[in-house]
Amino acid sequence: MLNENPRDGVDYILGGAVASRASDVHIDQVNDGLHIRFRVDGLLYPISNFMNNVFFLNDSQTIIQRIKILAGADISEHRLPQDGDFEYTSENRSYNIRVSIVPASHGEAIVLRILNRDDTMFDLGDLGLEQEQLSILKRLIATPHGLLLITGPTGSGKTTLFYSILNALNKPIRNIISIEDPIELRMNGIRQLQIRENIGLTFAKFLRSVVRQDPDVIMLGEIRDRETAEMAVQIASIGIMLVSTFHTFDIPSLIVRLSEMEIPSSIMAQSISGVISTRLVRKICPDCKADYQLSDYEKKFLGDNIMGLAGVSFKKGKGCAKCNQTGYSHRTGINEIVAFDESLRAAIISKASSMTLNQLIKELSGKSIRDSAISKIVQGITTVEEVIRVVGVV
Ligand SMILES: [Zn+2]
């Protein structure tokens, strides 16, 4: 049984988090102890949804102190934000736990991010790409040069796509260098570099050095600033393949953002080989999936698409013990992918209107994120309600 040992307490919380497939653990101090939540499939739930024996967690100070010690943080500091990390091993699998501690009105708020989780998808076939999208992606990663960008908001599956592409490219014939922040998953055969902003080791600085490391492929965790963007397009235009993520909602806004970073449109057009825009939706729990009648609101969301959907039996999870009564289990991607062609390049160079760009991208991609979502609704993989939650009503 559990005892008062705080080491056991932290182990117990993390053990439960890993078993529940949580990506993060949120810990807040409340009057009568700790309020702990797990983020599972993108949403937060109280720890009591997953674990029964949480009574001992009332000893909040010892648990918080233990986390601080493990993370290498200062246990006597309560007023300033602190970061750290530690290794956690469970059933022969080791996880890197990134710790963020921030003082809040009620005491310290702690978030533990669990990296190297075993539900991470590596296979390009597991990303939820439609068949034609998968062929476009395979063609893009077979191109030995150019910049391949992954876009989407926070928590949209950019990292999963990044690692799946990295995994697909990972062959001994290629020298792959990956610059990351943080390294979420260690991969054999790849030179993975961790940026350290505090000593000036930024994405841009690493990028400058690694071009002299005879790379075939450079994986760049994220393009955040103009300097990195400038170097990335330059490198991509000299015959090296570069894959990176870019925090933006869709492909037209990516082009706008790069222009704002003063990347000349001709260089942008010539160096980008393709762009994937991605979101994650929760999948209906297979154990409680049942037929479901759409509400008027959901029908309205489908709009004109509803005409082609006569006879489709829509599905939804009723909620069961396996899915913690949520009706959902695991997630899949809904994506849009565009391989740049001469018509799109010419439109970017001539600074075509965003309407023209949108139209061209629509024609080239064949399937928008919305189309991809509707296809998953029709196949009974996800629900209208979930798609509205993720992409909004438009
Ligand atoms: Zn269920």
Above 70 in pLDDT, residue 18? Answer: yes
- Lowest mean per-residue pLDDT among 12-21, 269-278, 299-308, 337-346: 299-308
294-343 pLDDT, tens per residue?
999 998 888 887 778 888 899 999 999 999 999 999 999 999 999 999 99
Q: How confident is the model at residue 251 (pLDDT cuts 50, 70, 90)?
A: confident
E strand residue ranges, 31-173? 33-40, 43-46, 82-90, 93-104, 107-115, 146-151
**How many angstroms does the Cα of residue 50 sit away from the middle of ligand 1?**
14
Residue type, 315: K
- The Å distance, Cα 285 to ligand 1 centre, comes to 5
Residue type, 319: G
Alpha carbon distances (Å) from 96 to 85, 89, 117: 7, 9, 9
Distance from the alpha carbon of residue 321 to the mean position of ligand 1, in angstroms: 6
Residue 309 CA to ligand 1 centre (angstroms):
25
The whole-chain average pLDDT of the chain stands at 91
The domains of the chain, with CATH numbers, are: 6-115 (3.30.450.90), 124-391 (3.40.50.300)
Sign of CA dihedral 59, 60, 62, 63: positive
- In sequence order, what DSSP letters do the residues of 49-75 get, joined into one string? GT-S--GGGG-HHHHHHHHHHHHT--T
Average pLDDT of the residues in 375-386 = 95
Q: Which residues surround ligand 1, an ion (CB under 5 A)?
A: 285, 287-288, 317, 320, 322-323
Q: Which of 1-15, 106-120, 182-196, 334-348 has the lowest mean pLDDT?
A: 1-15
CA 331 / ligand 1 centre spacing (Å): 14
Alpha carbon of 375 to ligand 1 centroid (Å):
22
Mean pLDDT of 99-104: 95
Give the number of other CB atoms < 10 A from CB of residue 196.
Answer: 12
Separation of 286 CA from ligand 1 center, angstroms? Answer: 6
> For residue 224, what pLDDT is reported?
92
Answer whether residue 126 shows pLDDT above 90.
no
In angstroms, what is the span from residue 280 Cα to ligand 1's centroid? 19
From the CA of 166, how far away is ligand 1's center (Å)?
A: 33
155 C-alpha vs ligand 1 centroid, how far in Å? 23
Distance 329 CA to ligand 1 centre (A): 7
Q: How far does residue 364's CA lie from ligand 1's centre (Å)?
A: 38
| Cα of 290 from ligand 1 centre, angstroms | 10
Question: What is the side-by-side order of every strand in the sheet holding 93-104?
Answer: 43-46, 33-40, 22-30, 107-115, 93-104, 82-90
Dist. CA 124–CA 375, nearest whole Å: 18
Cβ-based neighbours of 143, under 8 Å, separated by 6 or more: 241, 273
Could you tell me the distance, in angstroms and rounded to a whole number, from the CA of residue 318 to the centre of ligand 1?
A: 7
Neighbouring CB atoms inside 10 A of 79's CB total: 6
Look at residue 1 and tell me whether its pLDDT is greater than 50.
Answer: no
